[in-house]
Structure 1
């Protein structure tokens, strides 16, 4: 689903139709030029008789065609581009966004207006509805792009850009930041989970609930460690005293399929690796290394993975 030729939204279909017109026109020009080159080469080739071909100093009709043809193409594609742009990117107006996406080095935050829901990297959206997505950045310029969705969106500090999308069918659609933004730019992936409206409503209701309280002894110990050390100053876990805003919201961390913006599958083994030495897993990430013993790391792993 990463191909630009696989349209997952109605807006991408319009863009791809415009692309097709451009490619057909370019092919026609290529064939015309190639044909003229072959024709000229054959007609005016040296026949070995010493006779110079007829020379023409001017041909007004031909010159008008050479200038007028490209000019007409430019005008046609100008209006086609304006029409497509107006259709896929009208002003946001007073419309409430379906989601506000914020780019961070190197992960994506998604906040759902009108709710307390925040998530990271895995973004859930309903199909069959025209959705407004607003984007901004917390640090440097990033670029939100899912090839199957068509349009890119620059996310810029201090500015709110937007795109409109109408997803055609459920599925998982992947993309990435397409503006170089630092050391881990290559691992700033996007994962959109498109769901039926009913499934999306259920997901949103579940995501709005506070974190699941731990019940097992090891997870309880991990929760106490999380609250005691600096974890809670960077991360938020709704329903607890952890209210940090610097790192990803971890309220339902255990329900995500991936972690670290798509770098790894979300498994206890990978969480353990990450907590043991973040820089060895994702060099340059802003997660500091805490010198915990393995018992503490296992307890933190147990706590985080049960947050569903």
Structure 2
């Protein structure tokens, strides 16, 4: 039980789709264990039954036993045919066609973070992705640069995110909670820290969260935060990052409109605290080598006002 809390697992499924996959996996495990035990049993039987005896170094040979041959052919054929049918049936249940249907959210993989754009709504977030509980939703999976792979084990199937192609996933989350996952396709230096954090909420809470994410960024009020906003807009930050309600309209890096509302930063690499944010702004490559964030040589005072501004973006 404790291990399932620490390590995401398909055996602690939290969605209808994950349950279907878990059931199929258990069938495979049962069949595999049965085959393993049968082979071990036959090896022991043959080793004992046909072991060499004094004066009889060559065990008795027999060939042409049609019953044995029939069993050896029929059972594997039935197993392969049965699992072929079960696999197709599970695929049809978990991943039916979605042609022409509007997704709830578009998930886009970047090196090395995840973007979620809520279809039909002016809500774009990074890394911490909220989804509703109790209804089946459609997600589109895309990539902005290289091949990534979306996988949250407790929520079901994994799906490749491929540049220039839109794949899809269905998910019906049964219970609220926080579900962890990761990119499952090697995508570069920081692949291991391209984590996924899905927050599943009851419908009313989810809709309230979406409405809040559609709002423009709060206007800073303290002198330090105002100075940080001016610095952010004056420098090149806004060419990569977007903060709705300001002149910053970049689409290369994560949307920072509600940055301070996230529990983690850098795709789940560390808690979202002032100290961690300060370390990141001072030297991004020292914190996350290979990340696309360049290092700018800013003074300590400039870093401080930037931190003061970004931490107001609830």
The 3 A distance-change label for structure 1 pair 221 and 38 is same
- Which residue of 2 is the match for residue 21 of structure 1? 27
Structure 1 Cα separation of the partners of residues 91 and 276 of structure 2: 43
Describe the SS at the equivalent of 2:10: coil
1:150 positional shift: 2.5
Structure 1 Cα separation of the partners of residues 58 and 230 of structure 2: 95
Structure 1 Cα separation of the partners of residues 50 and 291 of structure 2: 66
- Which residue of 2 is the match for residue 136 of structure 1? 142
Is the counterpart of residue 155 in structure 1 residue 161 in structure 2? yes
Structure 2 Cα separation of the partners of residues 195 and 226 of structure 1: 33
Equivalent pairs, count: 308
- Which residue of 2 is the match for residue 229 of structure 1? 235
Structure 2 Cα separation of the partners of residues 95 and 125 of structure 1: 18
What do the CA deviations read for 1:47-86 (whole angstroms, capped 9, x no partner)?
3243854431210111011011100110000100000000
Is the counterpart of residue 283 in structure 1 residue 280 in structure 2? no
- Which residue of 2 is the match for residue 77 of structure 1? 83
Q: Is the 8 A contact 2:225 2:308 kept in 1?
A: yes
- Which residue of 2 is the match for residue 297 of structure 1? 303
Structure 1 Cα separation of the partners of residues 232 and 79 of structure 2: 63
1:162 positional shift: 0.8
Is the counterpart of residue 7 in structure 1 residue 17 in structure 2? no
- Which residue of 1 is the match for residue 202 of structure 2? 196
Structure 2 Cα separation of the partners of residues 95 and 205 of structure 1: 23
Between 192-201 and 32-41, report the one with greater CA deviation: 32-41
Equivalences for residues 229-308 of structure 1 within 5 A: 229-308=235-314
Is the counterpart of residue 116 in structure 1 residue 130 in structure 2? no
The 3 A distance-change label for structure 1 pair 52 and 102 is closer
Structure 2 Cα separation of the partners of residues 132 and 164 of structure 1: 5
Dislocated runs of 4+, deviation >4 Å: none
What do the CA deviations read for 1:270-300 (whole angstroms, capped 9, x no partner)?
1111111111111111111122111111101
Structure 1 Cα separation of the partners of residues 282 and 169 of structure 2: 39
1:28 positional shift: 1.2
Structure 1 Cα separation of the partners of residues 58 and 105 of structure 2: 72
- Which residue of 1 is the match for residue 54 of structure 2? 48
The 3 A distance-change label for structure 1 pair 50 and 280 is closer
Describe the SS at the equivalent of 1:124: strand
- Which residue of 2 is the match for residue 31 of structure 1? 37
Is the counterpart of residue 107 in structure 1 residue 113 in structure 2? yes
What do the CA deviations read for 1:253-282 (whole angstroms, capped 9, x no partner)?
010001111111111111111111111111
* TM-score normalized with structure 2 length: 0.96
Q: What value does the CA root-mean-square deviation take over the aligned residues?
A: 1.1
Describe the SS at the equivalent of 1:5: helix
Is the counterpart of residue 57 in structure 1 residue 54 in structure 2? no
